[in-house]
Every structure is written in structure tokens, then in C-alpha cells.
Amino acid sequence: MEKIKVSEVLVVEGRYDLNTLKQVFDATIVTTEGFGIFNDSEKLDLIRRLAQKRGVVILTDSDGAGFVIRSKLKSSLDPALVKHAYIPDVAGKERRKRTRSKEGKLGVEGMDREVLIQALRRSGATLDGESTAGAGDITKADLYALGLSGRPGSAEKRQELLRRMDLPEHLSPNALLDVLNILTTREALEALCQSM
């Protein structure tokens, strides 16, 4: 199969993620070496420089550890230069491992080609020269009005929305806002929330 060219630099957790992505995308891919990024200022400086030159797409696992690594990168990089790709929560274990992960979810390396392509497309990445960015008109006030934040039962409603949109359960309200502005419009979100 033909590889899809990605303009931005992809940032992933480890070498197995890199190997999986190299089979699908023609892209520059940098690994954080898992939590190694917390002690590797040279690697973090490299990622900053790459972000300034081409922008980056962060693609970590959808487990708690993946979100800790994503948070470290997010706080260390200019938000204008970063896009976030999320894989869905899928129960299972990678072929190379004997047992499931602590949370029992597949990581980036365990995702199939179409899931990875959709994750990058939903992030707003530039694939084969075309931007996939969405409308960007959803605000925090919209999340409040729809009962997705700041109200009794908001957390449960947000979890239901995440399930329906095939997004990871660890997405914070702020991260959800970023993702929604790439994936959907205010009108489509309102319709989805009314159907829940």
C-alpha cells in the first residue's frame, strides 16, 4: 500500500509506535522514549526546533501514561505549533507482548492502518498536502450550555460523548474542546448531545 505523506513531524512514545507508523506514513517521526522525555532536555529541544520548522502532531497511547507524556510535551511546546492525534480506547494486547497493558488497552503500535489515518486526519494534520483542520467554532461556553462541563453529571455526559465519538476516556474538557473543533461543528455537536 502507498504511504501517506505527512507534513508535520509525528511525536510518539517508542520505537514500536515508530515502526507501526513508518508502515503507513511517509513522515519524520520522533520518539519520546516513553517517560525518558522528562529527563532528556536535548530531545525536548529537538522537538521544539522541529515544531518551529514544520509543526508537530503528538500521538501517544490512550492510557494514563500516554496522557502524562502528552501533557509534558504540551506544556513544553508552543500550542500554535502542536496538533493532537488521539487513538480510540480499544481493549486488547499487542502481539509482541505476553500480557495486556495495565489498563488493558491497545497502544499506537496495536492500531490498524485506517485507525491511524483517521487519528491524524482528525488532528488537523496535513496529509498528502491537504489540511484536514475543522471549523473551530466550538467554545467553552458551548460545552457548558450542552452540559459537558461545569454542571452536575457533566463528567458522565462527557464520557458518553467520548464513547460515541470513539475518543479516549482520559481526554480532559480542554483537550476535548480542541478535538471537537477539529472533528465537528457546533451544530453537529448539539445534535449528538441531544441524541444522548
Question: Within 13 Å of residue 90, how many CA atoms lie on the same side as its CB?
Answer: 16
What is the 3-state secondary structure of the chain?
CCCEEECCEEEECCHHHHHHHHCCEECCEEECCHHHHHCCHHHHHHHHHHHHHHCEEEEECCCHHHHHHHHHHHHHCCHHHEEEEECCCCECCCCCCCCCCCCCECCHHHCCHHHHHHHHHHHCCEECCEECCCCCCCCHHHHHHCCCCCCCCHHHHHHHHHHHCCCCCCCCHHHHHHHHHHHCCHHHHHHHHHHC
pLDDT score for 89: 84
* pLDDT band for position 169 (cuts 50, 70, 90): confident
Chain segment 69-113, per-residue pLDDT in tens: 999 999 999 999 999 999 988 877 777 767 766 777 888 999 999
Cα-atom radius of gyration of the chain, to the nearest Å? 17
Q: What percent of the chain has pLDDT over 90?
A: 58
Please list, in sequence order, all residues whose beta carbon lies within 8 angstroms of the beta carbon of residue 54, skipping any fewer than 6 positions away: 7, 8, 9, 28
**Contact status, residue 90 vs residue 105, Cβ threshold 8 Å:** yes
* pLDDT of 167 strictly over 90: no
For residues 25 and 121, give the distance between their C-alpha atoms in angstroms, rounded to a whole number.
12
For residues 105 and 91, give the distance between their C-alpha atoms in angstroms, rounded to a whole number.
4
The single residue listed with the C-alpha cell 501533557 is 71
Q: What percent of the chain has pLDDT over 70?
A: 95
For residues 142 and 192, give the distance between their C-alpha atoms in angstroms, rounded to a whole number.
13
* pLDDT band for position 124 (cuts 50, 70, 90): confident
* pLDDT of 134 strictly over 70: no
* pLDDT of 55 strictly over 80: yes
Assigned C-alpha cell, 13: 512514545
* Mean pLDDT, residues 157-172 taken together: 86
pTM of the model: 0.73
Mean predicted lDDT score pLDDT of the chain: 88
* pLDDT of 39 strictly over 80: yes
pLDDT score for 129: 81
**Contact status, residue 29 vs residue 22, Cβ threshold 8 Å:** yes
pLDDT score for 41: 92
